[in-house]
Amino acid sequence: MTKVSILIAARNEADNILDCLRSVEALSYPKENLQILIGNDASEDNTGELVQEFIKKKPHFQLITIQPWEGLKPSQGYSDVGQTQLKGKANVLAKLAKSATGDYLFFTDADIEVPKDWIQNMLPHFKVNVGIVTGITTMKTPPFPLSGRDFLAFMQAVEWLYYLSITRLFSLFNIPITAMGNSMAVTRTAYDAVGGYDNIPFSITEDYALFRAILDKSFQFVQLFDRRVLTISKPMPTYEQLLIQRKRWMYGAMSLPFGLRLGVYFNALTLPFLLLLGFFFPRITLSLTILGYVSVTAWLAGVLNWLQCPQLFLATPFFWFYHLFTNFAMLIYYYGKKQTIWKGRKY
């Protein structure tokens, strides 16, 4: 059977890492063909100790301590480090890949829970010349009744599935949008063909950088939209933390080809456009607003029905308004903040 290596980068993940490792341990893939590598990225909490205790008597697990870029303290910023230097999560994954023995490299995050048949449902999509396969992710949602923070979790859950469904739609026309490092697999052949993370210019969105590098080497991609590969993440607890996360994502969005980048701006500027148009053409604005609301809500309802996620239907009537506001807020935050802070480091 095919040998698979799972790579997990972990920095200050004491609150999440055990849930992740339990889900990986529960994978149905034969353990004799499975290697699980966890990179402890100079964590300032007890992430490393928790991992070390969990993996005792589990020989297919390995904890690797990762040092930050030479010359920097663990929590120091990276804004002055050259673009070709390995740093942050890319540095961790590069080191883990060097220790990986699998024919396929599977990537997930320390705050992710994977389904038990994740590997078996990803591997069959590696047809001839397919170098990278990505899955889908949603958020862990709380039970009723809901608080304001809980409602934000529901919005994030449906937001991920909404945008991943759009990504899937584009992929059907062989138009690559992005890949997600929390549910992604690449062939060892494709990874080595690009020289791995050591040979890719640094990006804070390291998953997208690897995705583009693999496609540039003429490998094909597959974007899945299948409940069997649905991974579960932890939502951002506050709106401010959500914007910090999305600022990092915006760096990847701004690396898209020109036509797709225009789509990002169109999405972000829909709210101020409708507000401005409403002053001059209220009837047209009302018609466009209703059309947009019905279209997005109907699409999302279809997506949730396809993935059998009835618990998320609660969010569908409100999603369009959240969608408009958050896209605009993301753009303002992206241009308004000079640095990105991620896992306690500045970029």
Domain definitions of the chain by residue range: 4-135+180-235
> What does each C-alpha distance from 193 to 98, 129, 158, 267 come to in angstroms?
14, 12, 36, 35
Average confidence (pLDDT) over 136-147: 80
13 with 43: CB under 8 angstroms? Answer: yes
Lookup: tokens for 54: 């969990």
78: pLDDT strictly greater than 50: no
Higher pLDDT, 259 or 114: 114
Q: Mean pLDDT check: name the lowest of 38-42, 75-79, 273-277, 286-290.
A: 75-79
Higher pLDDT, 248 or 215: 215
Q: What is the pTM of this model?
A: 0.92
345: pLDDT strictly greater than 80: no
Say how far residue 133 (Cα) sits from the centre of its chain: 13
pLDDT band at 295 (very low <50, low <70, confident <90, very high): very high
Please tell me the distance from the alpha carbon of residue 8 to that of residue 106, in angstroms, as a whole number: 9
Percent of the chain with pLDDT over 90: 76
236: pLDDT strictly greater than 80: yes
Domain 4-135+180-235: give its CATH superfamily. Spore Coat Polysaccharide Biosynthesis Protein SpsA; Chain A (3.90.550.10)
The CB-based long-range contact list for 310-316 (8 Å cut-off, 24+ gap) reads 311/141, 312/138, 312/141, 312/154, 312/157, 312/158, 312/161, 314/154, 315/154, 315/155, 315/157, 315/158, 316/158
Average confidence (pLDDT) over 27-56: 96
- Pick from 58-72, 77-91, 111-125 the range whose average pLDDT is largest: 111-125
Nearest to 191 by CA among 249, 107, 113: 107
What confidence score (pLDDT) does residue 260 get?
84
138 with 124: CB under 8 angstroms? Answer: no
What would the pLDDT profile of 195-228 be if each residue is shown by its tens digit? 999 999 888 889 999 999 999 999 999 999 999 9
Average confidence (pLDDT) over 306-325: 93
